[in-house]
Structure 1
Amino acid sequence: MKKYYNSYLVAAFLYCLPLLIANIYYIDDNGRATLGYTNWGGDGRPLADIIMKMMFLSSHVADIFPLPLIISIALLAFVFSLYHKQNFSSLPGWIGALATLSFFANPYLAEVFSYRFDVLTLSCALALSLAWVLLPPLNRIVRFVIGIAIIIAIYSLYQIAVNVAVMMALVVTFRQIINNDRPAVIFMSLLQRGVEVLVASIIYLKIVLPSTFSGDHPANHPNIAGNQLWLTINHNVQAYWDFINQTFYKDGKGMAVLVAILILAVISAAVIALRYIRAGMKHSRIAIGLLALLLPLVAFVMIAGNLLFLENALLVPRALLSISGFMLFSATLMAWAFRGKMCFVFAVMAVPLLYAVTSIYVYGNAIKQQDNINQGVVYQLKNDTATLADQNFYMQFVGTSPRAQVYKNALRNYPVLGVLIPEYFANWWFPFPYMALKGYQVLNPLKDDLTVTNENLHEGLCQGERIAHHQDYDLYKYQNRLTVDFTLQGCQR
C-alpha cells in the first residue's frame, strides 16, 4: 500500500507541477484572494463552505496557495493507491499504474487543479466519488446508509462529480463478474448502489439544495429543466458533443477519441462477459453477460449525466471532469480483459494519457505568458486613466484582447487552451476582480445591475472621446463609461 501511495503521489505531483510553477490566479481566485469570500453554499455546495471554513477557522478566507493543491494531490494519491490495490494487485505493476493514471487522460481536468481555492473541494468530491466503492466489507444496512451519506456529500461538494461515482459503481459490477460472483449477488449489489444514488439525489434536491442555494440561476448555474425536458436533453447532448469535438482533441476529433475508447470498453466488456458465461451456461449468467455489454454505454452517457437535465449546457472544462471517470472505467475494463499475451492492447491507453499530460504542461506555460500580456494591458489602462482617478467610470470592452504568441502557437495542437485560458477583458463579471488584483480599481457595471448592450458599445465608440491610442487598444470616454476597443476600428466596426 505504501509503495502504491508513494508512486501515485509522485505521479500526481508531476501532473500538477506546471500549475505550481505558473502560480496564477484563476477566475474566482481573483475575487476570493482579494475579498476573502466563500459562498460555495449559495451554489448548492454547502460542504465546500464547511471544509474551507474549517481550514481557516473562519468564514473569511485568504490565499494559502499551494497548500490546497498539495493536500489535494496527497488525497487523490491515497485514493488511487486504494483503487490500485483493490482492482489490480494481481496484475503486472505497469498495467495497474497505467489503468489508474488514465484518470488524468482528460485535458479538461486541468481547470480543476488551476483553482487556488476550489481545487481542494473539487478534489474532495472526486476522491469521494472513487472511494465510495472502495469501502471495506460492511453490514448491508450500514453500507447502505454510508453510501447515501457519501453521495450527498459529493453533491454538496460538486454536483457533477456524482457522475463519476456512478461509473465507479459500474466498475464494482465488473469486478464481481471477474470474481465469478453469483448473478443474484451481482444484480442486488448493483441495485443497492442504484438505490443509494437515487435516495441521496432525492434528499439533496428536496432538503439540502433548497436550504442552501441562493435561488439565482444564471447561465453558469442553470436550474433543472421543467418543461420540454426531452427537447432540452437533445439540445444539451448536441451542445456537449460539439464542445468536446472542438476542444478535447486537436483537429476536431474529440468525440472520435471518446468513441474509440468506448468501442474498446465494449469489446473489453464482451471478453469479460464471455468468460463469465463460459464458467456456467445458465440463463442468469447470460443475463449478467448481456447487462455487462450495456454498462459501457451507460458510463459513456454519464460523461454528461446529470448535466443533461439542466436548462442549458454548462460548456466549461470542469463540467466535463466525468471524462476522467470514463477513462478510468474503460482502462480498468481493458486491464481485466486483455491480460497475459494480449496485454499489449492495453498500451493504447498511454496515447490519451500522454496527450493530456503534455497539454497541462503546455497550458501552464501558455497561461503564464498570457497573464503577462493581460497584466501589461491592466497597467496601461491604469496609466491612461490616471487623470480620471477622482471620477467614477464603468468599463466595457469591444473585441478580443491580445494573445501571447506562446498561447497562439500552442492552440494549434491543443484547442482545449481556448476554453481553459479565460478571456478576462470581456463584458462579464471577472475582468474587474482581475484588474483589482493587479492594483487597478474600476466600476463593474454588472455589480450595479447595469447591462452592457450593443447600444452601449456603439455609443461609447461613436459618441465618445478617444483619450488613448496604443498598439493593442483604443480607449474612449463617454458619459460615465470607458470603452476599451481592442479592434482598433472605432465607430467603423
Structure 2
Amino acid sequence: MINLLIKESSSKARLTTALLLSFLFIYPIFSSGVYYIDDLERSQNGISGWTYLGRPLSDLIFWLFSLGHQGSIDISPLPQIASIIVMGVSIHYFSKKIFNYPSISSVLITSLIFLHPLFLHNISYRYDSLSMVISISLCLYSFALDTKKATLNIVLKSLLILASLCLYQVSAVVFIMLLMLSETMKVLENRRINKITLTSDLSSIVIAYFLYSILLKFISDNNRSETVFSHENWANLILINYKKIESLYIMSYDKLSLLVLMVTFIVGSALYVAKLIKDFKNRCASNKFLSIISIASPFLIVIASCITVLILKESLILPRIATSFGVIVFSTIYMLNYFSRKCASIVSLYLCMSVILTSFALGSAMKSQYEKDIFIAAQIKSSIDNNEVSRNSKTTVIGVASSSIVEENNSRVFPVIGLINSPMYDNTGSLLLKRLGLNGVNFSFDRKTWIPKALSVCKASYPLAYNQSFSIYNQDGQNYVFLGVSNKQCRQPKE
C-alpha cells in the first residue's frame, strides 16, 4: 500500500487523485444545502460589497457570474463546484513543481495546503469559497513561477500576489511561508542560496503589498485595515490576538489528529536540527551562520502564518482567517518527507482522511442546524401572524438560538465544528423571517441601542409567545423576539 503511494505515477493518476480529494473535501458542505451567514443576505438582496472590504476581485468574479449586472445572484453550488476544479488543478500543478518525483504521495502532501479543518469555514460560504480558493492558488502559482528573467519574474509574481490580496488579504502570506520553507530546505541540503532569486521574490512581496496599500486608499475606508500600532497598548493587543490564534490552531483537528501533527512537527524539527549539527563542520562559514539562524525556521513559519492577523486592530479571529494554516501542515509533512518518504506518505494519508471525515461531520451538523433554524423561524412567524397585536407590529430579533443536537454531538469529536457552525442569531434570524414572508422586520446592527430597549420591554411586560426556543414581547407596535432560552431578567408567562 505504502509503496503504491510513493512509486512514480502518471500525470492523469495524480490529477485524478487531486480532484477526488478536493471533491471529497468540499462535497459534504455544498450538499448540505445551507445558506451560511452572509449567503442569506447575498441570495435575498443581491448585495456584494467585497470591494469595500478590500477584495475587489471577489466582486469581479460575481460580476462575471451575473453577466455584467450589478450585485450577486445565487448560482449555488456552481462557485463551490468551481472551487473543486481550481483546488484540484492547483494541487496537481504545485506538487509537480515542488517535488522531484511524481507520485500519489506528493499529491497527498501538497493537498494539505487546502485540506485542513479550518479551511472548511471558507468553503462553507457559497459566495466566497471560490475567491478564497483562488487566493491561495495564485500564491502557489506565483511561488512556482520562473521565467528565467528576473525583471519579468518580479512583475508577474507581484501581480499574482496583488491579485491574491484583492481576493482575500490573509492568504498572501502563503507565498512568504513557502519562500521561508524553500530557503530552509536549501540550508538543510547545504545548497547555495541564489541571492538574485531571493531578492526577486522579496521584491515581489514588497511591491505587491505596496501597491495593495495604495489601492486600499481608493476602494476602502473601513477600519479593518487599521493596525494595532495606532493604539498605545499595541503590545497587549498583539498578545491577545496571539492567544486567540493559538486557541484556534489547537482546536483545528480532533485530538488524535492534532497529536499526530504535533509529534510529526517535533520529530521533523528534531531531525532537521540533528542533520544541521551533523553536517556543521563540512559547511562553509556563510552556511554555518545560516544553519544557526535556520534552526528557528519551523517556528518562524508558524508565526508568519498569523502575522497579518496579529497586527490588525480589528481582528476577527475566526477559522476563515487561517487560510495559511495549511502551509504549516504542509511544511511539517514536507520536512518529514525529506527524511522518510514512507512516513510522510502515511501521515499525509491519515490527515487527508481525517479532514474529509471532519467535512462530512460538519456538513451533517450544518444541515441539522439550518433545518432547526428554519423550523424555529417558521414558529416565530406563525406566532406573530396568529396574534392580532404582534401581527400589526414591526419585528426585531435579539440573541442567539441554541445549537442543534447533531452539532453538539459531532463537535465532541471535531471541536472545529463548534467554531464553524453558526446557530441563527439576530441578523440571520431576521433574514430567515423575511425569507419566510414576514413583513415589518426591522433589524439593525445598532445592538447597543436595541438590546437595552428590548430588555426594558421584557422586564415590564408578559410575553405574547414563550417556549425553550424563543419568546416574543411587544410594546408600542414593536415585537421583540428573544432567541434561545428567555433572559432571566425577562418576565415569564402568567401561571
TM-score normalised by structure 1 residue count? 0.87
Counterpart contact for 1:5–1:77, Cα < 8 Å: yes
State which drifts further: 373-382 or 400-409. 400-409
1:69 equivalent in structure 2: 80
The separation in 2 between residues aligned to 1:260 and 1:175, in whole angstroms, is 20
List aligned pairs for 1:23-422, cutoff 5 A.
Answer: 23-56=33-66, 57-90=68-101, 93-174=103-184, 176=186, 181-183=191-193, 185=194, 187-205=195-213, 207-213=214-220, 215-217=221-223, 221=224, 223-225=226-228, 226-228=230-232, 229-245=234-250, 247-250=251-254, 260-270=263-273, 273=276, 281-339=283-341, 343-344=342-343, 347-386=346-385, 387=388, 391-398=392-399, 400-422=400-422
Q: How many residues align?
A: 475
Counterpart contact for 2:132–2:167, Cα < 8 Å: yes
The separation in 2 between residues aligned to 1:413 and 1:274, in whole angstroms, is 40
- The 3 A distance-change label for structure 1 pair 276 and 72 is farther
Counterpart contact for 2:190–2:283, Cα < 8 Å: no
Deviation at 1:64, TM superposition (A): 0.8
What code does the residue aligned with 2:301 have?
A
List aligned pairs for 1:418-457, cutoff 5 A.
Answer: 418-426=418-426, 429-446=427-444, 449=446, 451-452=448-449, 455-457=452-454
The separation in 1 between residues aligned to 2:276 and 2:219, in whole angstroms, is 44
The separation in 2 between residues aligned to 1:17 and 1:152, in whole angstroms, is 30
Deviation at 1:29, TM superposition (A): 0.7
- The 3 A distance-change label for structure 1 pair 462 and 227 is closer
Deviation at 1:89, TM superposition (A): 4.1
What code does the residue aligned with 1:435 have?
L
What code does the residue aligned with 1:210 have?
K
Counterpart contact for 2:42–2:73, Cα < 8 Å: yes
Counterpart contact for 1:9–1:73, Cα < 8 Å: yes
Stretches of structure 2 lacking an aligned partner (at least 5 in a row): 1-10
State which drifts further: 265-274 or 227-236. 265-274
The separation in 2 between residues aligned to 1:265 and 1:442, in whole angstroms, is 60
The separation in 2 between residues aligned to 1:263 and 1:188, in whole angstroms, is 33
**Percent identity over the alignment?**
19
Task: Indicate yes or no: 2:2 matched with 1:2.
Answer: no
- The 3 A distance-change label for structure 1 pair 98 and 255 is closer
- The 3 A distance-change label for structure 1 pair 242 and 177 is closer
SS in structure 1 opposite 2:463?
strand
Deviation at 1:366, TM superposition (A): 0.8
Q: Deviations over 1:89-130 (max 9, x none)?
A: 426x24313311222452111111111111111111011122
Q: Deviations over 1:219-249 (max 9, x none)?
A: xx4622213332321221122223434x324
Counterpart contact for 1:272–1:337, Cα < 8 Å: no
2:6 equivalent in structure 1: none
RMSD: 2.8
SS in structure 2 opposite 1:443?
coil
Stretches of structure 1 lacking an aligned partner (at least 5 in a row): none
SS in structure 2 opposite 1:328?
helix
Deviation at 1:421, TM superposition (A): 0.9
Counterpart contact for 1:236–1:312, Cα < 8 Å: no
Counterpart contact for 2:430–2:443, Cα < 8 Å: no
- The 3 A distance-change label for structure 1 pair 55 and 171 is farther
- The 3 A distance-change label for structure 1 pair 82 and 270 is farther
TM-score normalised by structure 2 residue count? 0.87
Q: Deviations over 1:436-466 (max 9, x none)?
A: 334444534426x564455324213212341
State which drifts further: 289-298 or 377-386. 289-298
Counterpart contact for 2:377–2:432, Cα < 8 Å: no
Counterpart contact for 1:378–1:440, Cα < 8 Å: no
The separation in 2 between residues aligned to 1:173 and 1:434, in whole angstroms, is 51
Counterpart contact for 1:334–1:346, Cα < 8 Å: no
- The 3 A distance-change label for structure 1 pair 349 and 141 is same
State which drifts further: 195-204 or 297-306. 195-204
The separation in 2 between residues aligned to 1:347 and 1:248, in whole angstroms, is 20
